[in-house]
Amino acid sequence: MPPKYPYMPPDRFLKYVPVDHPFMLAAAQAREACAGDPLYPVGIVMVKDGQVVARAGNGFNRGPGKVHVCPRIVLDCPSGTGYELCDLHDAPGHSERMLLQAARDSGIDPAGSDVYMFGHWWACEPCWTALIEAGVRDLYVVDDAHERFSREKVYGETLTPSVRTVSLEGFYGDRLQAVRGQLWELGLEEVDQDADVRCVMGDDGARCVLRGDIDPVYTVEIGDKLPQQLKNVLRQL
């Protein structure tokens, strides 16, 4: 049964190839090399006359390895919503738009090309619109993409903390207990000093500061959901 897509243009559909298709392998390489989104990395290539003529990744091609705490994940935004909250996951940084940009930057007209995307299973409305307006013929994904790259699967791999130790400063009472419960669920150890992440409760919320940094990588707002949202930050670190 075909998956139900959050968006599909009325007169278009995705095409599918196996994961070891040569152009899909090229897209997988682009994902490794170009994707600046560590949480949902996507690679993409443009093929014209049987040749890969352009490649890109999502996250504005910032390249792998940058810490990004996504507000959409902190706030548990449903799939396909909340892009406006995040400057990395905003539609202009999606792999499809980055690819069209990369092609045009090197003087290649995308019209009549095919596009192969590795790392995702559907394309959002702004991306489809951009591909169609650029004259792209077909958008290919891996034949099992909706399972291989489902949110649960991808986040299961990328939303596991690489930090190990956390210090909690300025937390008391029920809030302290709730946050400790979240640390325990993530398998993180609470330490008094020299932590990988310091969580400091202040007037503006819970500031999460990575070891060696001064500025917080994220500040969780004060509210009922603070423990859950703090957990969502730590999962991304």
Q: Which residues form the interface with Zn ion (CB under 5 A)? A: 70, 86, 88-89, 94, 124, 127
Q: Which is nearer to Zn ion, 94 or 168 (CB)?
A: 94
Q: Which is nearer to Zn ion, 89 or 231 (CB)?
A: 89
Residue bearing tokens 């007209």: 109
Q: Are strands 114-118 and 43-48 parallel, antiparallel or unpaired?
A: antiparallel
Q: Which is nearer to Zn ion, 5 or 176 (CB)?
A: 5
Residue 74: alpha-carbon gap to chain centroid? 12
In the complex, least distance from residue 153 CB atom to Zn ion, rounded to whole angstroms: 18
Residue 170: alpha-carbon gap to chain centroid? 31
What one-character DSSP code corresponds to residue 148?
H
Q: Which is nearer to Zn ion, 88 or 163 (CB)?
A: 88
CA-to-CA dists, residue 175 to 172, 185, 198, 226, angstroms: 6, 15, 16, 8
In the complex, least distance from residue 123 CB atom to Zn ion, rounded to whole angstroms: 5
Q: Are strands 138-142 and 15-17 parallel, antiparallel or unpaired?
A: parallel
In the complex, least distance from residue 181 CB atom to Zn ion, rounded to whole angstroms: 26
In the complex, least distance from residue 41 CB atom to Zn ion, rounded to whole angstroms: 12
Q: Which is nearer to Zn ion, 91 or 108 (CB)?
A: 91
In the complex, least distance from residue 167 CB atom to Zn ion, rounded to whole angstroms: 26
At position 94, the amino acid (one-letter code) is H
Q: Write the DSSP string, 176-196.
A: HHHHHHHHHHHTPEE-SSS-S
